[in-house]
Structure formats: structure tokens, C-alpha cells
Copies of this chain bind each other. A is one copy, B any other.
Amino acid sequence: MRSSNVTLKSIADRLNVSVTTVSRVLNGKSDRYRISKETQELINTAAKELSYSPNQLARGLRLKRTNTIGYIIPDISNPFFSSIAKNVEKSARKLGYSILLCDSEEDTKIEENLLQLMIDRKVDGLIISPVGLEVNHLRRIAQKNIPIVLLDRYFPELNLPFVTSDNYKGALEAVNMLIEHGHKRIACIQGLVNTSPNNDRVRGYIDAHKTHELSVDKKLIVGDSFGEENGYIETKLLLKQDDPPTALFAVSNLISLGAIRAISEEGLKIPDDISMVSFDDQPYSRFLSTPMTTVSQQNSQIGQIAIKLLIDQIESNRQLEPKGIFLPTRLISRDSVKRNINLGIKAIG
């Protein structure tokens, strides 16, 4: 029951023409094949009347082209990813592509299955924010010459185009600022370890110390996930240390939410008792009980650029010489950082 089934054939039969002709007219190739005005008329009106619409499955099978893009994200409910997803979908749609969306739940195994699933569904290309701990499944894709663009997370050792924020510089700038405000014990609550955004941000954190000839206390680099829970737990522990940090560098928006929870539970105040800066600006960041100083990423550009890169690749039918694109971040100063008076001699700003 469930089908309308107006096909090229049904139109052809009804008008006593061949499916070829119908196909040609309906695909705007009337001129190239010099189809008579009358048959054009006939076919067009019939198609409209029956509200014909081509079966994209059949079309895709024949053409080896589906106009759909596979999109794999580690967590669509994370506002960072969903704001990017918005622009990925929108840009794709404007260029005539649809999005097959899957969530890998930060699980490499799931990601791997999803990848196969998308290949089987014959997507024209892939945008993926990989979990980032394993490369081999991605390398396999690359070898199959399926157009692909990595988003947010990349692999230095892998020759694939990617677009991401300049996480290193963003972190460097943020931690520099903290140090210049007199902080010497700055904790870094990291996300998923060995993931490029994480590594780059931690590297920025460390280099900021080096620049200021400050040693890094390894015990102050903690955590292992981009989630809220991680921020909460690690902050709890940090605050219990013998020599607790005077400032916190939270590597993601969710981490900082967890950190805030822990800090307030301990009856402490930001920035009076502890200063804080967080990666990822969010619409609510400025309205938090202490408006948060953040490192803001260009979420809308990231998605757009990734799609453009990918569709270029698809439509030019050539492998892109793989290049990585780093987008600059912006440090947004609000109220969560205070000069550290204990030792804060060097006045600033």
C-alpha cells in the first residue's frame, strides 16, 4: 500500500513515448536531444499532474552518486558540536547535499562500524570528527579514495585534509594571560588524551610556562575526557591537593561546567578563591555566576569550510592535495580571572 509509484515508465506508458524521452525531458535535456515542443509539453504536464519525483535510490545506483554526505560526530548533544553541525548541514543543503548523521559516542569501535555503514550507503563523501585515538580505519578509507575531511580533530601522521581551530595558539594565549596575572600554579584539566585538540591545547599550556620560565608541575595536568563529569571529579581532587592551584585552565566547555560545580560545592568563589579560563565560548558563558573568560572558536566557519573542502573534492573528482586549515581563536576576557595577589608582583593591564 505504502507507495505512490509514479515512475518514468508510468508516465511513458500513459503518453506512448519511451522512458528515455521522459527521462530526457525531465532532466532538462530536451534541447540537446531536440525533443519536440509538443512532447515536452505533454511530458511536463503529465509529470506535474502526477507530481512525479525521481526515486533517488535508483538514480544513485545508476549514477554512483547520491548527493549525500556522511557525517560522524562524537557527541551531537555537546553544544560545541551541535553548533558546528548546524553549519555543516546548512552549507551542505545549500549545495544540494543531504547529511547522514551518526554519533560515535567517542567510541572508536562504533566509529569504525559507522564508517562502513556509510560506505555501504554510498555517501559521496565524509565529514568526520573522529574519536581520534585510532587511525587505521581512517587510513583504509583514504586508500579507497573516498573524499573525506576531518573536522576539529586531525592526525598529524595522516595525509588527510582537515579543518580545526588553532588550539595551540588559543591555549598559549589563555595560559599566558593567566601567568601574566601572577598565577604560578595553574591546573590544566584536559579532555580525551591523545586527541589533537587536547594535545595542542596542553602543548600550549606547557609552552606558555616555558615562555615565562615557569616549571610545569605534572600533578597539575589531570583529566581524560571532554565531559562534565571529568571536570567535576578532577576539580574536586585538585582542590584537595596540598598545594592547590590558584587558577584553572579547562580544556572544554563541559569540563568547565563540571569544574564550576565542584568549586561551588567546596564553598569557593571564582575568581576570588580560584581563577579560571575555559576553552569554547557558549551563549551562556557570559551569564554564568561569574561570567567566564573563554577561548572562542569560529564554529560557524569551521563547518562551512569543511563542507566546501569536501564538495570541492567530490565534484572535481580528484583527491585534494591534503591540507590542514587552522582557524584562529579569540580570547574573550570576562570576570573569571583575577590577579594573583599572593605573589602577583608584576602588574598588568
Contacts and interface: CB of A to CB of B under 8 A. Distances in A.
Contact of A288 (B66, B117, B288): B288
Interface in A76-97: 76-77, 79, 82-83, 85-86, 89-90, 93
Contact of A61 (B61, B89, B291): B61
Contact of A261 (B56, B260, B287): B287
Interface in A1-41: 1-4
- Top 6 nearest A-B pairs (CB, nearest first) are A82-B82, A77-B86, A101-B101, A57-B61, A284-B284, A2-B145
A144 to B, nearest CB: 6
B77 A145 contact: no
Interface of A: 1-4, 53-58, 60-61, 64, 66, 68, 71, 75-77, 79, 82-83, 85-86, 89-90, 93, 98-103, 105, 116-117, 119-122, 144-146, 228, 254, 257, 260-261, 264, 282-284, 286-291, 317
A144 B82 contact: no
A32 to B, nearest CB: 24
Contact of A56 (B55, B122, B288): B122
A284 B288 contact: yes
Contact of A122 (B55, B68, B290): B55
A268 B50 CA distance: 61
A54 B103 contact: no
Contact of A57 (B60, B90, B282): B60
A314 to B, nearest CB: 9
Contact of A105 (B57, B71, B90, B100): B90
Contacts of A122: 55-57
Nearest to A140: B51
B79 A86 contact: no
19 contacts: A1-B145, A2-B145, A53-B116, A53-B119, A55-B61, A56-B120, A57-B66, A68-B100, A89-B103, A90-B103, A98-B102, A99-B100, A100-B101, A257-B284, A257-B287, A264-B287, A287-B288, A287-B289, A288-B289
Contacts of A100: 68, 98-101
A284 B89 CA distance: 26
Given A56-B121, A100-B100, A100-B101, 9 more contacts: A2-B145, A54-B120, A57-B61, A76-B89, A79-B82, A89-B102, A90-B103, A101-B101, A257-B287
A166 to B, nearest CB: 23
B93 A228 contact: no
Contacts of A60: 57
